[in-house]
Amino acid sequence: MKSEPYKFSIDDFSTLPNQTVAWDGIRNYQSRNFMRNQMTIGDQVFFYHSCCKNPGIVGIATVSQSAYPDATQFDPQNRHFDPKATIHNPRWFNVEITLVNKTRLIPIKELRQYSELVKMRVLQTGNRLSITPVDPAEWQFIMNLL
């Protein structure tokens, strides 16, 4: 799960009550589908800083609440408001994640040098998705780097 640190950093995450956040505001159908259809309570995720001087993995979190309608889609004052969404037919969903721990920064440049990660979606040229699945072998390889 990627976040720009100037908007929401690993340090911001660590100061939240219960170190838990609703991952709201996702407005890409593929990312929404990953959250809604594939993420379940207990799944672990890498927390990744993007669009910054040193992008890369900076922490691990766990899914603590499965997908439910994203409330921001219904709020006309919110920048994520969607006039086509209704309570009975929501278009956007979020999960809640809880911080497990901060990690050392594993920069994208380092991740790209390992042949074991060559197919990792977040490392693909042109990838702009804020949420992408991680293959179990990729997960274990990265955990061994920590």
pLDDT (0 to 100) of residue 128: 86
Domains and CATH numbers, the chain: 2-145 (3.10.590.10)
pTM of the predicted model as reported, rounded to 2 decimal places: 0.94
Q: What is the DSSP string of 4-67?
A: -TTTS-HHHHHHSGGGEEE------HHHHHIIIII--TT-EEEEEE-SSSS-EEEEEEEEEEEE
Spell out the residues 6+ positions from residue 84 whose beta carbon is closer than 8 angstroms to its own: 91
Distance of alpha carbon 54 from alpha carbon 98, whole angstroms: 23
Res. 8: pLDDT tops 90: yes
pLDDT at 32: 97
What is the rounded distance in angstroms from the CA atom of residue 22 to the CA atom of residue 92? 13
Give, in degrees to the nearest 5, the angle at Cα 110 between 31 and 126.
Answer: 35
For 108, the token pair is: 């994208």
pLDDT digits (tens, 9 = 90+) for 52-77: 999 999 999 999 999 999 999 999 99
- Judged by DSSP in three states, 92 sits in coil
Report CA-CA distances (Å) from 27 to 16, 24, 79, 101, 106.
Answer: 23, 9, 11, 27, 27
Burial of 89 (0-12, 13-18, 19+ CB in 10 A): exposed
- pLDDT tens per residue across span 97-138: 999 999 999 999 999 999 999 999 999 988 889 999 999 999
